[in-house]
Amino acid sequence: MKITGVKVYQVDLPLHEGNYSWSEGKSVDVFDSTVVQVDTDAGISGYGEVCPLGPVYLPAYAAGARSGLKELAPQLIGEDPTQLQQLNRTMDRVMKGHPYVKSAIDMACWDILGKVAGLPVCTLLGGRYGEDAVLYRAISQRPPAEMAENVAGYRSEGYRRFQLKVGGRPEEDIERIRAARKVLEPDDKLVADANTGWLMHEAMRVVNAVRDVDVYIEQPCATYEQCLSIRRNTTLPFVLDEVIDSVDAILKGVADHAMDVVNIKISKFGGLTRARQARDLCVSLGIAMTIEDSWGGDIITAAIAHLAHSTPTEYLFTSTDFNSYVTQSIAKGAPQRVNGRMAASTAPGLGITPRFDVLGDPVWDCRA
């Protein structure tokens, strides 16, 4: 089988809540997502998606994804999309770095492989564990009382795990954490995610002030070394995200006892192939994981579901359903949350069918 063409689509994904806010005053009103269609000489097409969290979260941005694909895709014509390791080596050879650019291509090729094999992607990624996967809800940064109210509201919808967006003024963040924890039950999990937003002295103030609270601390500072200094001065469970972007980073973190949980974002690693490698390494090392991506719609949510559902249950700290945050559906067959959980499709591939009436015409098309 050979790749004969690649189409690239752009789609806006507005938010139900109007905007999404996190540390240091950063916010996004409408997410700019890129959908990729990979066509083959066998008449089978696969679909992928990449959606950076604006240009100020990770070294990635929406227009950069499309620009990078325009550079990368022509060099993949004639490659076998079912040979995922070889394809990733080819992408790395012809484009150094920029893993998020490669992510949607890799995702689409897993969709193709599943369709060829007649199996859902989660089966190919390692098998299906349990009936579904547990989800968290990200709570956009607002005043403390409003965030606590939002936590309570989403808890009534079935969520039991919450990622509180902090990383603002320490005094207010302390109040946010305490207010949110008060509306939860003992079995519920609360993560205070600073998204690199605190300086070390601010992070120390917060972790000391909430040391009696049942809360996880996620990515308090910008660098690995800064986060490690906080980790060594708190007994609260610790999550690393932004600085975990490779297997080398995971191995270093384990050697330094730097974290209890890591966040595996599909596009941060360059697609499902490398994210699965990181996932399997974490399982071998006994590290729990949040399985997700930077953002996205139905196609990314489907990919997340397959990777999460194929992760041994005890190592899956949580996952997410981005398609429930946005008002626009871009594909049929995507997983939908039920009582704070979601299941991967049992159909071949990712199990989705793009809504081309929503995607419109491709913004770019590369043919053999």
Separation of alpha carbons 246 and 274, rounded Å: 8
User: Under 8 Å CB-to-CB from 143, ≥6 apart: which residues?
Assistant: 172
Q: Are 301 and 334 in contact (CB under 8 A)?
A: yes
Range list of β-strands (E), the chain: 3-14, 20-21, 27-28, 30-40, 45-50, 133-134, 137-139, 161-165, 189-193, 216-218, 238-240, 261-265, 288-292, 316-319, 331-332, 341-342, 353-354, 364-367
Nearest 10 degrees: Cα torsion 293, 296, 298, 299:
-60
Q: Are 239 and 191 in contact (CB under 8 A)?
A: yes
Q: Which residue of the set 7, 102, 115, 265 is catalytic?
A: 265
**DSSP label at 340?**
T
Catalytic site includes residue 265: yes
Separation of alpha carbons 319 and 332, rounded Å: 20
DSSP-derived secondary structure for 21-49 = E-GGG-EESEEEEEEEEEEETTS-EEEEE
Catalytic site includes residue 268: no
Per the listing, tokens 């150094």 go with: 96
Other beta carbons within 10 angstroms of residue 89's beta carbon come to 11
Q: Are 309 and 128 in contact (CB under 8 A)?
A: yes
Q: Which residue of the set 26, 102, 115, 165 is catalytic?
A: 165
At 263, is the secondary structure helix, strand, or coil? strand
Catalytic residues: 165, 265
